[in-house]
Amino acid sequence: MEARARRGTSGTPGGGPDAAVAATRGAGAAAHVLTVTGPLPASSLGTVDAHDHLFLRTPALAGQDFEDLDRAIEEVRDAQATGLRSIVEMTPIGCGRRPDLLRELSIATGTPVIAATGYHRDAHYPAGHWVYEASVDLLAERIVADIERGMHPADWIDPAARPDPARAGVIKAGASYQHVTRAERRRLEAAAIGSLRTGAAVLVHTEVGTCGHEIVDLLLANGLAADRIVLAHLDRNPDPELHAEIASRGVTLEYDTPGRIKYRPDSDLLRLVEHLVGAGYGDRLVIGLDLGRRDYFRAWGGGPGLRYLLGTFVPRLRMHVGERAVDRILVDNPARVFAIAGLGVPV
C-alpha cells in the first residue's frame, strides 16, 4: 500500500533515480552480472540488447520456432558489426531454452549472454504442463537452482537431469492481457522468492503493456525492492504519462518494438523515449528488440534482424536524446539492473 501511495509523484520520486544509481555504485565498485560463461564485471557488458531471443519454441507461436546454432551465430555476428556487445536472452523455462547452445554461441562469438530462468505467461504453456501444478516453493526452487547450480538442460522435464554448466542471470515472469491469472500470480511470487534468494532481477512480460502497476504491487508485496523489477513491452501501450508514473516507483521499463513496424513507426517510439528522458527517468529505461519469431531474423531470411538496434534505431535515438542519454539506456542502466549483489566476491 505504501507503494501505491508513491504513485503520481512522477516529478519527485523518493530519493530520485540518480540517488538509486549512486547507492548501487557506492555499495561495491565491482558489480558483476552472471552470464552463461560465468560472472563478468557489469562494466564490461558494453552496449546491451536488454531483451532478445536466440533459441525459442512455444505453442503460442507455432511454426515460428528457432533452434539453429549456425543461424544464431550468423545473426549475432551481423549485429556485432554494428556495435552490439551483449545480449540478455529472455527465453524462460518451457519455451525451448537451450543453455548448451547459448554457451556455444557466446564462446564462438565472444558475446556476453545473460540467460533467463523463470516462467512466461499462461499462453506459453499447454494445459497439463507441470508449471500449473507445481507449488510456489517448487517453482522458486527451480529458479534458484538454474541460477546457483546451472540451468536445467530440458525445461525441468526430467528433474534428475544434470544441470548445464551455464547459469541463468535473470528471472522472467509474465502476465496476461488486462489481468494476472491465478497461475501467473503464483509464478510471480516464485520469481520474487528467487530474486530475494539470489539477487537476480525479475523481468516481467506485460501483455500489450497492461497491468504494470498491478505487477509491481504484487512483487513489492512479496518483498522485492523496486530496483530489482523490470517491466517489459510497456511500449506496446505507448502512454508517456503512465510510463513516467510507473518509472517514478523506482522500476525499470523495457521497450522492445524498434523496427517492428506492425506495432507502430519508430518515430512514435523515439518520441516516447524522448518523453521519458525529458521527465527525468532516463536511468529507468533499457531497450531490446525481443525478436521472438523466426521471421524477425535476417539469418532466417526475414527482418528487422538483430542488427537493427545499433545499426538503425540507436543512430536515430542519438539525434533525439543525445549521446549521454543513449549511453545510459544502452550501457549504464542494463549494467546496473542486471548486476547481482555479491557476485564475483570470493567466498
Contacts with Zn ion by CB under 5 A lie at: 90, 290, 292
Grid coordinates given for 140: 522458486
**Phi, psi dihedral angles at 262 (to 5 degrees):** -60, -25
Q: Give the Cα separation of 295 and 302 in Å (integer).
A: 5
Q: How far apart are CA 67 and CA 341, in angstroms?
A: 32
DSSP assignment string, 91-102: --TTS---HHHH
Alpha helices in the chain (DSSP H): 2-5, 17-27, 69-80, 99-109, 130-133, 136-148, 182-198, 212-221, 240-247, 266-278, 308, 314-327, 333-337
As measured in angstroms, the least distance from the Cβ of 92 to Zn ion is 9
- For residue 114, give the DSSP letter: E
Measure the CA–CA gap between 77 and 331, rounded to whole angstroms: 19
Question: For residue 304, is the peptide bond before it cis, meaning its omega torsion is within 30 degrees of 0?
Answer: yes
The nearest distance, CB 288 to Zn ion, in angstroms, is 8
The residue number whose beta carbon is nearest to Zn ion equals 290
- Judged by DSSP in three states, 270 sits in helix
The Cα–Cα gap between 187 and 228 comes to 16
Query: For Zn ion, which is the closer residue by CB, 118 or 280?
Result: 118
- Pick left, alpha or beta for residue 56 (phi over 0 → left; psi -120 to 50 → alpha; otherwise beta): beta
**Set of cell numbers at residue 69:** 546454432
